[in-house]
């Protein structure tokens, strides 16, 4: 009998074990996240999104609390071994504002919390729910920009985003190396072989220059975060004779090194009707001991009328763009009109720095006898004007006399009545003596022999 009761007890216990249900769980999610989770009125210490595990099968009340939002609650039933999911969309009851700016360009599309707002920078949002928000800006050719902003009740947060262009790189190699690199016409102040970084996307021109070799150029496409490689083989350049492209000018192999503020000028006689200046040109050159600075800045100065350079009529800064050729510059903005009957006027080039640029001299025919120099001559304290015919120079070639067979290569263009533009060459003046005594040019100003082929 005792054995029977013992057997019945074991059966009952096993039955209870078999019938016991396992615990369940509640997965709690909210938009926005970060809400405190309460279960049956008690703070669980957890924040959404989270899971409340190991709950006995029963009915429960879930409550979410987040500052700036209405409280949210829901009754849920937990079954043994199951996980119940509740998802809450919290309703804001407190708001702030956000100003979104972008530089160096505006027009970037604004995304908040992963969704496009449909507006672009610069923009103002006057009613954003308090709390944290993700902010992203998108603009073609620029890298995406993102951050997190925290909105505070009744306050304005300002975001100033600095957008960065999408870029790639160009590896520029050449044989031989040492060639100057120009990117889209801009000297990069480096030589091959070199890596050009932070290059904007798209097509770009690369030009290589190296003394004694022909210029080399190509077009290259730059992609984001990639490196395009260029391998240039430079060809030796044939030597060329110097040839000017306009009128009868014949360049000489010598010139004057002028000091800053000093000038070389030519006299022009206008037509017998109003002449409105439109363009002016000079022929820049370098020196045998300084061949590369022919493109230094200078002033184009117009002086008016008389038997010698007189009152300044106007000036404009310029820089040469091609050595040993006519470099024309627009001067129409100076609004200079030479009226008929007022006599000759003068066009001068004034150096901004010592020695450069050099001005090419004309030894062609006919002789003009109309070039002038403004400098400090031997025995003088202050600079003054003197015609070439009155200037003596120690060591000047006997067969090339100043003023007799040597003048400056300066030219001007202008509009005449009827809307036609004409070119003026220097006045041809008979070889009659100028008034005034002869002057002597200091030895350090006299000519420097050039090798023209090296300048090309």
Most confident of the ranges 229-233, 237-241, 268-272 = 229-233
What domains appear along the chain, each with residue ranges and CATH number? Answer: 22-89 (2.60.40.10), 95-162 (2.60.40.10), 169-233 (2.60.40.1120), 263-455 (no CATH)
What is the distance between the alpha carbons of residues 134 and 53, in angstroms, rounded to a whole number? 30
**The token pair that represents 142 in the structure block:** 């620029």
Decide if pLDDT at 203 tops 70: yes
- For the ranges 174-183, 366-375, 439-448, which has the lowest average pLDDT? 439-448
Most confident of the ranges 17-31, 346-360, 393-407 = 346-360
Phi and psi at residue 445, to the nearest 5°: -100, -10
- For the ranges 138-142, 228-232, 233-237, 401-405, which has the lowest average pLDDT? 401-405
Looking at residues 62-78, what average pLDDT do you find? 89
What is the pTM assigned to this prediction?
0.46
What is the distance between the alpha carbons of residues 39 and 411, in angstroms, rounded to a whole number? 95
pLDDT at 111: 94
How are the residues of the chain apportioned to helix, strand and coil, as percentages rounded to the nearest 5?
A: 5, 50, 45
Cis peptide leading into residue 454 (ω within 30°): no
Decide if pLDDT at 400 tops 50: no
Adjacent-strand bridge partners of 73: 63
Strands (E), 10-67: 24-31, 36-39, 42-47, 50-55, 58-65
Residue with the larger pLDDT of the pair 228 and 93: 228
Q: What is the mean pLDDT of the chain?
A: 83
Decide if pLDDT at 451 tops 80: no
Cβ-proximal residues to 368 (8 Å cutoff; 6+ apart), any chain: 266, 362, 407, 426, 427, 428, 429
């Amino acid at each position: 009998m005792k054995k029977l009761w013992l057997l019945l007890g074991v059966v009952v216990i096993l039955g209870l074990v078999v019938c016991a249900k396992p615990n369940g769980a509640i997965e709690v999610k909210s938009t926005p996240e970060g809400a405190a989770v309460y279960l049956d009125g008690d703070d669980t210490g957890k924040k959404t999104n989270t899971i409340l595990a190991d709950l006995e099968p029963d009915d429960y009340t879930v409550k979410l609390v987040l500052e700036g939002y209405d409280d949210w609650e829901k009754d849920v039933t937990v079954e043994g071994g199951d996980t119940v999911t509740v998802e809450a969309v919290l309703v804001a009851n407190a708001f702030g504002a956000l100003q979104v700016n972008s530089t160096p360009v505006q027009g970037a599309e604004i995304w908040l919390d992963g969704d496009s707002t449909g507006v672009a920078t610069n923009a103002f949002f006057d009613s954003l729910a308090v709390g944290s928000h993700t902010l992203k800006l998108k603009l073609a050719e620029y890298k995406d920009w993102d951050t997190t902003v925290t909105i505070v009740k009744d306050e304005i947060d300002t975001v100033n985003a600095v957008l960065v262009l999408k870029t790639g790189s160009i590896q520029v190699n050449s044989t031989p190396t040492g060639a100057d690199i120009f990117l889209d016409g801009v000297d990069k102040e480096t030589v091959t072989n070199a890596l050009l970084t932070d290059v904007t996307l798209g097509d770009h021109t690369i030009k290589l220059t190296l003394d004694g070799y022909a210029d080399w150029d190509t077009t290259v496409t730059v992609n984001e975060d990639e490196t395009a490689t260029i391998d240039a083989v430079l060809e030796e350049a044939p030597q060329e004779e110097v040839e000017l492209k306009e009128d009868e000018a014949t360049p000489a192999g010598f010139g004057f090194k002028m000091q800053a503020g000093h000038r070389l000028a030519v006299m022009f006689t206008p037509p017998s009707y109003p002449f409105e200046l439109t363009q002016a040109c000079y022929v820049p050159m370098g020196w045998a001991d300084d061949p590369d600075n022919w493109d230094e800045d200078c002033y184009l100065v117009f002086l008016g009328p008389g038997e010698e350079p007189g009152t300044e009529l106007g000036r404009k800064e310029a820089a040469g763009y091609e050595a040993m050729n006519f470099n024309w510059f627009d001067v129409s903005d100076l609004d200079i009109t030479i009226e008929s009957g007022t006599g000759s006027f003068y066009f001068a080039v004034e150096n901004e720095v010592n020695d450069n640029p050099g001005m090419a001299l004309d030894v062609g025919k006919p002789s003009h006898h109309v070039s002038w120099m403004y400098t400090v001559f031997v025995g003088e304290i202050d600079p003054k004007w003197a015609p070439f015919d009155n200037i003596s120079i120690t060591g000047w070639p006997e067969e090339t006399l100043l003023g007799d067979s040597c003048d400056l290569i300066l030219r001007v263009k202008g509009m005449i009545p009827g809307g036609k533009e004409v070119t003026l060459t220097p006045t041809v003046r008979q070889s009659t003596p100028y008034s005034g005594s002869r002057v002597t040019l200091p030895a350090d100003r006299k000519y420097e022999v050039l090798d023209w082929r090296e300048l090309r």
